Structure 1
Amino acid sequence: MPDAVIVEAVRTPVGKRDGVLAGVHAADLSAVVLKALAERTGLDPEMVDDVVWGCVGQVGDQSSNIARFAALAAGWPETVPGVTVNRACGSSQQALDFAAYAVMSGQQEVVVAGGVETMSRVPLGAARQTGMPYGPAVMERYDHFAFNQGVGAELIAEKWGFSRSRLDEYASRSHELAAAAQDSGAFDRQIVPVATEAGQVTKDEGVRRGTTPQTLARLRPSFQENGVIHAGNASQISDGAAALLVTTPEKARELGLSPIARYHGGAVSGADPVLMLTGPIPATAKLLAKSGVGLGEIGVYEVNEAFAPVPLAWLAETGADPDRLNPLGGAIALGHPLGASGAVLLTRMIDYMRDKGLRYGLQTMCEGGGTANATLIELV
């Protein structure tokens, strides 16, 4: 079976809700990274077998198969197809899985994986305004629970015994690390500037410098009156896009491209849909079992910071080294543009691995409904 390799990974800056990227349509935002991918690699887009694109809010500006219209917005040939994937927050991580599977099976040779979300223009929950998403059988099975991620995060904090101060300490760490990464230029190579009416956007907008547990202590709980989850220790509502070019080592050589990372393996799992956000724990176990790579061999772990209890519960259950967890900050500081987040995190992780000379990187993403993706990549 052929290997699947990533030869380039790029992303836009991540904008805050109603922030610097709010005026950019999702197709146009996607086009920014698609064009950059072709320009940086010298790839003729005619050679792309498919564009596999993650997007969660597939209504309004993001309806009508955003993958297809992203490719057209990029000026790519009409012969290039596109398909849109929704596995909740893991949509573009799943897009990478699908791209890798297609290449490894020999059915396709050059696939673009990535995703987009413009949460300023398509608010979270917009798809639920026209119907009942879960259906009566599911609601009856789970005793008419509201399936609220914030409530799930509260339940996780309670189950693992995380105090509000512990969660706020973790959230402050995210901002501190993200600010340090920005200042050191760690994101510069991966970010593609986005032209807006107000000028070029080149940096992630959500980092709040000087955030401390003391400043976060002033915020009110968001989901329960005496709860521990609030806006400061949860991921930010964001806009952004990211893309990765996937092919085989042989095709890369033919095209004169140098692979950056090998897709070592992926896993997806389901867990309690009420707790909802614990899926990364079994997904990680499943991935490690099939890969034969030990957790201690892995140099960096990207565990999406949907809410602070999620990576903390993952750490508690896996026994992983906390210093290797989200070393550049995460979604609490840098934002969580749902359908793009998997590709955004992968892009950040790949660059970090290159900078530090790390062989293995593991990424896992909690998802609405209790599913989770886990992906292992190897630097080449």
Structure 2
Amino acid sequence: MTQAVIVSTARTGLAKAHRGSLNKTHGAEIGGHVIKAAVDRAGIAPDLLEDCVIGCGFPEGATGRNIARQCAIRAGLPVSVGGMTVNRFCASGLQAIATAAHAITSEGATAIIAGGVESISLTQPPPVDAKDDWIMAHKPEIYMPMIETADIVAQRYGISRAAQDAYALRSQTRIAAAQDAGLFADEIVAMETVMAQKNRETGEISDVETVLDKDECNRPGTTLDGLEKLDPVRGPDQYVTAGNASQLSDGAAALVLMDADTAAHEGIEPLGAFKGFAVAGCEPDEMGIGPVFAVPRLLKRHGLTVEDIDLWELNEAFASQALYCRDTLGIPDERCNVNGGSISIGHPFGMTGARMTGHLLLEGRRRGAKLGVVTMCIGGGMGAAGLFEIF
């Protein structure tokens, strides 16, 4: 049976949306940068690639016009390499990996680049907010802002503000420790950019040359006292604050997937293998709990239990939903987001699933893990989960 293996991964540092190093950089340049790095790291001839599958949460504006094809061209890949943009909101990067793997295992593709890109800085707020009249009359919750659904999850399932703040501190602490230990250095490829910087006193905006070579969203000095003092975004009787939710950010990640036999023939040692992917729907007004439906479906297909999984990457869109999913699924805390997650590092929607997959494989190697799962909630009421074998 044909097996799809992952032979390299590369990503940008995560930059603060609107205020960070990528706030003027077109999506094609961000994505092209990591694609080129991933191909270089794989050590394969670019013409071996058949397609470029890139996930994007908001494929419009500077990430529109089939951004995957643009990224492939920007990376200098041969024009013979195709390009396909996929959208499953926050799971777009993970969906791109699954799509690429399925092309290898089912269609006989030799090698495909997969990943995700997001430029919140250049696409938000969206230019048009069109809603379907029938959906508005019958299921308007599908259009709910995600922050509202996170508050609903907290209220409906009794997840306290204190628990959410404690979880946020956990994420910040783990990311800071991982940064200090250099655990992201083998993922990030430095990128020279020109950012727009606003003078706080004069309001003047100027262009500043900079190098993005690390994640810039987290706050290492975060304290529980500081988190507790933050006001809830939606009012005093709510839960989500700027401290216990993922912040808006820009970035891209790419991975090279290959047929296992081809990789062996080329003398390439894989990082791991794609084993499976599953999605599931849930009520849109509690979209954050999607993983509690997708994960069991994935594990059942492979005859596995939660206890069989050595390492988990559970996206932290909000502390309320991350806590609910972790505890409902029974994921041991010591195996879940061991180096922190999106609450601290940031969440470029379409990129995050690809980032988490690359990190799962590299961290899994360091820990001697064998099986890992990447899972996340999805706007509109869904969950997605991917299973990986770590080599």
TM-score tier (shorter)? over 0.9
| 1:274 aligned to which of 258, 279, 285 | 285
Q: Give a deviation string over 1:202-248, Cα, whole Å, max 9, x none.
A: 11001101212210122111124421101111101001000111111
Check 1:130–1:199 CA distance in 2 against 1; reply closer, same or farther (3 A cut): closer
Q: 2:279 touches 2:382 (CA, 8 Å); kept in 1?
A: yes
Return the offset for 1:292: 1.2
| 2:183 aligned to which of 168, 182, 186 | 186
2:139 pairs with 1:142: yes
Partner of 1:98: 99
2:228 pairs with 1:227: no
Letter in 2 for 1:173: R
**Aligned mates of 1:38, 1:84 — CA distance in 2:** 19
Return the offset for 1:352: 0.7
Q: Give a deviation string over 1:61-92, Cα, whole Å, max 9, x none.
A: 11110000101111111111100000000001
Check 1:59–1:293 CA distance in 2 against 1; reply closer, same or farther (3 A cut): same
Q: 1:178 touches 1:330 (CA, 8 Å); kept in 2?
A: yes
Partner of 2:348: 337
Q: 1:280 touches 1:365 (CA, 8 Å); kept in 2?
A: yes
Q: 1:151 touches 1:224 (CA, 8 Å); kept in 2?
A: no
Q: Runs ≥4 in structure 1, deviation > 2 angstroms?
A: 142-146, 197-200
Letter in 1 for 2:6: I
Partner of 1:362: 373
Alignment of structure 1 residues 1-380 onto 2, 5 Å: 1-17=1-17, 18-123=19-124, 125-126=125-126, 129-133=127-131, 135-142=132-139, 146-197=143-194, 198-380=209-391
**Aligned mates of 1:16, 1:54 — CA distance in 2:** 19
Q: 1:50 touches 1:81 (CA, 8 Å); kept in 2?
A: yes
**Aligned mates of 1:145, 1:173 — CA distance in 2:** 31
Gapped regions of structure 2 (runs ≥ 5): 195-208
Gapped regions of structure 1 (runs ≥ 5): none
Check 1:196–1:252 CA distance in 2 against 1; reply closer, same or farther (3 A cut): same
**Aligned mates of 1:344, 1:328 — CA distance in 2:** 13
Letter in 2 for 1:364: T
**Aligned mates of 1:115, 1:27 — CA distance in 2:** 11
Q: 2:143 touches 2:380 (CA, 8 Å); kept in 1?
A: no
Letter in 1 for 2:231: R
**Aligned mates of 2:68, 2:326 — CA distance in 1:** 35
Which secondary structure state, in structure 1, belongs to the residue aligned with residue 123 of structure 2? coil
**Aligned mates of 2:361, 2:21 — CA distance in 1:** 26
**Aligned mates of 2:235, 2:389 — CA distance in 1:** 41
Which secondary structure state, in structure 2, belongs to the residue aligned with residue 275 of structure 1? helix
**Aligned mates of 1:363, 1:296 — CA distance in 2:** 15
Query: How many residues align structurally?
Result: 376
Return the offset for 1:131: 4.3
**Aligned mates of 1:69, 1:61 — CA distance in 2:** 10
Return the offset for 1:260: 1.1
Check 1:354–1:144 CA distance in 2 against 1; reply closer, same or farther (3 A cut): closer
Identity of aligned residues (%): 38
**Aligned mates of 1:249, 1:149 — CA distance in 2:** 39
Letter in 1 for 2:229: R
Check 1:249–1:145 CA distance in 2 against 1; reply closer, same or farther (3 A cut): closer
Q: 1:360 touches 1:379 (CA, 8 Å); kept in 2?
A: yes
Deviates more, 1:15-24 or 1:45-54: 15-24
Q: Give a deviation string over 1:316-373, Cα, whole Å, max 9, x none.
A: 2111211111111100100000111110111111111011110111110111111121
Q: 2:55 touches 2:115 (CA, 8 Å); kept in 1?
A: yes
TM-score by length of 1: 0.96
**Aligned mates of 1:53, 1:61 — CA distance in 2:** 14
Q: Give a deviation string over 1:13-56, Cα, whole Å, max 9, x none.
A: 10011211212211001111111112112212111110000012
Return the offset for 1:296: 0.9
Letter in 1 for 2:54: W
Deviates more, 1:81-90 or 1:53-62: 53-62
**Aligned mates of 1:112, 1:146 — CA distance in 2:** 32
Check 1:52–1:145 CA distance in 2 against 1; reply closer, same or farther (3 A cut): closer
RMSD: 1.3
Q: 1:165 touches 1:213 (CA, 8 Å); kept in 2?
A: no
Q: Give a deviation string over 1:233-273, Cα, whole Å, max 9, x none.
A: 11010010001111111010122211110111110111111
Letter in 1 for 2:130: M
**Aligned mates of 1:146, 1:27 — CA distance in 2:** 28
